[in-house]
């Protein structure tokens, strides 16, 4: 007799496979040989993730690999929620955190293609409070370190928001400006994107605009620009132009359907924190729609998005961006000619530049993990990760919730995937 748990898992798989586009719907018949992988190499992914779960590093995970239009690998492991012990299934909903950023950037680039937005325009054109911003400069004297506010040498541009060179930052304790962001308690309360932008505009910049790559709230502000230009909420615009057309039915900012709240993946009880804060609860609906960190998705939904980008902006006969626009997004926007320097915590790492919305691999070596020049990638603080490798006609999506394990597992997975290639 088949258990109810197994039936739910099978049913969820059928739902995923009948709703994802034909280009992604090769499972459950995986074709590793046709996709150019060895079965032995892919089996190492199974063994690795099973070991991670058995040793209580993560609760569960799902991985999908598509190459040359074939599903080379699609497997789920462990449980979605340590509290309920429900198995990890393809309909599991994940907090994707910063994997929201590429979706928001695609939304903005749609407006660029339509002539409604220019990358060199000042953000203050759309959010007036961003005019006349000040930059915080730390100076050391006999009485200690003080923060001097100096005028910004140029305005923050739309491109700065997309490539994290705005001078905005995140909170922390590594500088006086970052501490000011933490002290401002930007996430406290129930507010919308417009109010969040006003909160940010009151704070000093950490760097002069256009000079330094520093991970930041830039994409939240970009989301507000999308709202101003489109006249719609960020979610309304994304839903109308990206999510619904792509069939990303489970991708949103909050879980509002009571029947789906149990589908949200949870980390191990010992791994719930991102810094000093716990992972947000997507079942609690708020006004804020943070374009840089607040979205939820499933592996099938995000696979559609990555396949669209791998295809050069189209999927199943519908075009979302032109091939030239996708290639432009995937070029290095902080290369030597830009004068941009990496900040103290340069997340892309050696060998990587940054495009519009995600990291781009600029060198074949330098990085400690395998990959191809031209790769586009980014991850979420909760553990999710994706990369698109145009050279190999491949994308990979990893879904899990394990903040403290994410960097190590992502690196290992990349090496395992490239080590499994046969041609």
Whole-number Å distance between alpha carbons of 327 and 26: 27
Of 18-27, 81-90, 188-197, which gets the smallest average pLDDT?
A: 18-27
Do 164 and 125 lie in one domain? The reply is yes
Total structural domains within the chain = 2
- Does some domain include residue 54? yes
* φ/ψ of residue 254, rounded to 5: -145, 155
Whole-number pLDDT of residue 18: 37
Q: Is the pLDDT of residue 185 over 50?
A: yes
Q: Is the pLDDT of residue 208 over 50?
A: yes
* Domain closes at, from 195, 229, 263: 229
Radius of gyration of the chain (CA): 21
* DSSP 8-state class, residue 86: P
Query: Average pLDDT of 357-368?
Result: 96
Q: Are 220 and 292 in contact (CB under 8 A)?
A: yes
Do 184 and 253 lie in one domain? The reply is no
pLDDT digits (tens, 9 = 90+) for 48-85: 999 999 999 999 999 999 999 999 999 999 999 999 99
Query: Average pLDDT of 209-230?
Result: 98
Do 275 and 186 lie in one domain? The reply is no
- Does some domain include residue 131? yes
Domain of 31: which CATH number?
Answer: 3.40.710.10
- 308 to each of 147, 155, 231, how far by Cα in Å? 46, 33, 26
Task: 111-115: list long-range contacts, CB under 8 Å, 24+ apart.
Answer: 111/226, 111/229, 111/230, 112/158, 112/325, 113/321, 113/322, 113/325
Whole-number pLDDT of residue 25: 41
Do 375 and 411 lie in one domain? The reply is yes
- Does some domain include residue 140? yes
Q: Is the pLDDT of residue 15 over 70?
A: no
Mean model confidence pLDDT for the chain: 93
At what angle are helices 39-54 and 406-419 packed, to 10 degrees? 160
Query: Which domain does 219 fall in, by range?
Result: 119-229
pLDDT digits (tens, 9 = 90+) for 131-161: 999 999 999 888 788 999 999 999 999 999 9
Do 376 and 248 lie in one domain? The reply is yes
Q: Is the pLDDT of residue 20 over 80?
A: no
- Does some domain include residue 106? no
pLDDT digits (tens, 9 = 90+) for 378-390: 999 999 999 999 9
Q: Is the pLDDT of residue 344 over 80?
A: yes
* Domain closes at, from 179, 203, 229: 229
Do 88 and 192 lie in one domain? The reply is no
Q: When comparing pLDDT for 13 and 87, which is higher? A: 87
Do 188 and 271 lie in one domain? The reply is no
Whole-number pLDDT of residue 392: 98
Q: How do 318-319 and 341-342 pair as beta strands?
A: unpaired
* Domain closes at, from 229, 258, 286: 229
- Does some domain include residue 294? yes
Residue 69 is encoded by which pair of tokens? Answer: 């239009």
Whole-number pLDDT of residue 71: 94
Whole-number pLDDT of residue 17: 41
- Does some domain include residue 110? no
Query: Average pLDDT of 371-396?
Result: 98
Q: Is the pLDDT of residue 21 over 80?
A: no
Do 133 and 183 lie in one domain? The reply is yes
Do 245 and 221 lie in one domain? The reply is no
Do 166 and 202 lie in one domain? The reply is yes
Do 224 and 260 lie in one domain? The reply is no
pLDDT digits (tens, 9 = 90+) for 279-323: 999 999 999 999 999 999 999 999 999 999 999 999 999 999 999
Residue 385 is encoded by which pair of tokens? Answer: 């990760």
- For residue 270, the surrounding DSSP H or E stretch is none
Please report the DSSP string for 288-337 in residue order.
---TTT-EEE-HHHHHHHHHHHHTTSEETTEESS-HHHHHHHTS-TTSGG
Q: What angle do CA 311, 305, 247 make, to 5 degrees?
A: 110
Whole-number pLDDT of residue 2: 37
Whole-number pLDDT of residue 22: 39
- Does some domain include residue 113? no
- Does some domain include residue 112? no
pLDDT digits (tens, 9 = 90+) for 239-286: 999 999 999 999 999 999 999 999 999 999 999 998 888 899 999 999
Whole-number pLDDT of residue 14: 38
Whole-number Å distance between alpha carbons of 409 and 199: 35
Do 193 and 291 lie in one domain? The reply is no
């Amino acid at each position: 007799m088949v258990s109810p748990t197994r039936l739910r898992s099978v049913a969820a798989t059928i739902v995923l496979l009948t709703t994802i586009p034909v280009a992604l719907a090769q499972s459950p018949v995986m074709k590793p040989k046709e996709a150019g992988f060895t079965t032995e190499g892919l089996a190492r992914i199974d063994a690795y993730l099973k070991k991670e779960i058995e040793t209580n590093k993560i609760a569960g995970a799902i991985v999908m690999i598509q190459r040359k239009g074939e599903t080379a690998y699609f497997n789920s492991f462990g449980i979605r929620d340590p509290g309920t012990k429900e198995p990890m299934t393809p309909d599991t909903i994940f907090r994707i955190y910063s994997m929201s950023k590429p979706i928001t950037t695609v939304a903005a680039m749609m407006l660029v293609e339509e002539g409604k937005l220019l990358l060199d325009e000042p953000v203050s054109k759309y959010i007036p409070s961003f005019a006349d911003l000040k930059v915080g400069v730390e100076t050391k004297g006999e009485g200690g370190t003080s923060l001097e506010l100096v005028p910004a040498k140029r305005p923050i541009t739309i491109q700065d928001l997309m490539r994290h060179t705005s001078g905005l930052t995140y909170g922390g304790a590594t500088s006086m400006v970052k501490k000011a962001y933490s002290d401002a308690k930007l996430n406290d309360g129930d507010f919308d994107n417009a109010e969040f932008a006003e909160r940010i505009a009151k704070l000093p910049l950490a760097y002069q605009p256009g000079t330094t790559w520093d991970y930041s709230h830039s994409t939240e502000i970009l989301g507000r620009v999308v709202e101003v230009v489109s006249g719609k909420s960020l979610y309304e615009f994304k839903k109308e132009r990206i999510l619904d057309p792509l069939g990303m039915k489970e991708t949103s900012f909050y879980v509002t359907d009571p029947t789906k709240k149990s589908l949200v993946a949870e980390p191990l009880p010992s791994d719930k924190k991102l810094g000093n804060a716990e992972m947000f609860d997507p079942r609690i609906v708020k006004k804020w729609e943070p374009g840089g960190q607040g979205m939820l998705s499933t592996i099938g939904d995000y696979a559609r998005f990555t396949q669209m980008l791998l295809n050069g902006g189209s999927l199943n006969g519908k075009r979302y961006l032109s091939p030239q626009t996708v290639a432009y997004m995937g070029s290095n926007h902080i290369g030597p000619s830009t004068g941009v320097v990496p900040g103290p915590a340069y997340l892309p790492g050696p060998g990587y530049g940054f495009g519009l919305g995600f990291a781009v691999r600029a060198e074949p070596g330098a990085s400690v993990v395998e990959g191809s020049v031209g790769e586009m990638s980014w991850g979420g603080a909760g553990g999710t990760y994706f990369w698109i490798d145009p050279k190999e006609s491949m994308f990979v999506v990893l879904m899990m919730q394990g903040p403290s394990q994410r960097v190590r597992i992502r690196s290992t997975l990349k090496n395992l995937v490239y080590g499994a290639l046969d041609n």
